[in-house]
Chains A and B, each alone.
Chain A
Amino acid sequence: MQYLYIIMLILLVISFLFDREKTKKSIIRGKNKLIKILPGYLKLLVILSIILLFSEDLIVQYLGTENILIGSGVGLVIGSITMMPGFIAYPLAGILLSRGVSYMVVASFIIPLKMVGIVTYPLEKEYMGSKATIYRNIASLIVAAILTILIGLYYGEVII
């Protein structure tokens, strides 16, 4: 994360050396864009704080089922709806694996977790419009499902 600040500073210094006015305009442009979208991010924070509360429990409870296909289906649904920071999601995946949950089921929730964003829809819509948001998320869900099956096949957990 620090490197984002380092890049910003380097770019600002270079920009400033070339053109003071343009640098000022750039900062103002960035600030205005952020202020405009801020309520969208704030609302998303509220939704994520609430959703994360339930998703961890749901994952631990339902992904450990005997049936690998049901487990994967539930994983895809939970993974699509919710969003989790990596430092929560991956240790959770580690716990599941240590309990004998298959790689396919772990993949089923890890992959769509960030790729498919139902909770981030309001934010994505602001930048992409609703049609592009819906189409991209449907396409991502299909890709996530294909990947889940491929990973299951690779580890020999499902056989066609």
Chain B
Amino acid sequence: MNKDNRLDYGIFITFMIFLFISRLIEFDLGMAMGENFYIFARDMVLILPPAFVIIGLFEIWVDRETIESHFGSASGIKRYIYAILLAATTVGGTFVAFPVANSLYHKGADYSSIFTYITAASLVMIPMSIMEASIIGIEFTVLRIGLSLPLVVISSIILNKIFAKLDYVLPSDV
């Protein structure tokens, strides 16, 4: 275990002790943090294990050619459609999108596909959008998604141009 990991575990354990003591002495601020913690932790505990099993299956089974032909630079405009479709169905939003994007990249997806994918994963998640439409209004949701997707694709194309020149590689072995 490296030093950074030890620090992260240390922070987490200290925080858990703080939450526990807050509950014992009924410290309001600490108890409110505990409720927030529960909200996020519950999602992560439920989503991360199946998500990472699927990522594992993806990395072992899917060959490079398949990803290159759909998400690589040779795929043209279609790669943005694939990226957005994948994003819309990614459960867990960006938490899950980051590792998936990394795996896609190492299988031959280009920068514009993965930037589109990550950003779109936070914008067009289907369950979230349904909730938004029911509270704020369907007009707002349609407007937000309709306007944002072209902008996200354009910004990803610009980022792709920048990164293609940089000789930049994403971290591997994560």
Contact = CB atoms under 8 A, between A and B. Distances in A.
Interface of A: 1, 3-5, 7-8, 11-12, 15, 22-23, 25-31, 33-34, 36-37, 39-43, 45-46, 48-50, 52-53, 85-88, 90-91, 93-94, 97, 103, 106-107, 110-111, 114-115, 117, 120, 123-124, 126-129, 131-132, 135-136, 139-140, 142-143, 146-147, 150-151, 154
B33 A146 contact: no
Contacts of A142: 155
A46 B46 CA distance: 17
A128 B170 contact: yes
Given A39-B8, A49-B40, A52-B36, A30 B56 contact: yes
A111 B147 CA distance: 12
Among A33, A52, A151, the most chain B Cβ lie within 10 Å of the Cβ of A33
Interface string B143-165: 11001100110011011001100
A106 B51 CA distance: 31
B170 A132 contact: yes
Contacts of B39: 52, 85, 88
Contacts of B95: 41, 120, 123
B74 interface: no
A90 B147 contact: no
A4 B91 contact: yes
A29 B8 contact: no
A50 B32 CA distance: 9
Nearest to B129: A86
B48 A41 contact: yes
B24 interface: no
Interface in B1-49: 4-5, 8-9, 11-12, 15, 29, 32-34, 36-37, 39-41, 43-44, 46-49
B101 interface: yes
A33 B168 contact: no
Interface in B120-174: 122-123, 127-128, 131-132, 135-136, 140, 143-144, 147-148, 151-152, 155-156, 158-159, 162-163, 166, 168-171, 174
A94 B159 contact: no
A136 B53 contact: no
Interface string B103-118: 0000000010001001
Given A26-B59, A128-B102, A151 B144 contact: yes
Given A4-B47, A131-B168, A103 B140 contact: yes
Given A53-B29, A127-B98, A151-B144, A30 B53 contact: yes
Interface in B47-89: 47-57, 59-61
Contact of A12 (B29, B53, B102, B156): B53
Contact of A139 (B9, B56, B159): B159
A11 B54 contact: yes
Contacts of A37: 99, 174
Contacts of B53: 8, 12, 26-27, 30-31
Given A85-B43, A90-B135, A33 B174 contact: yes
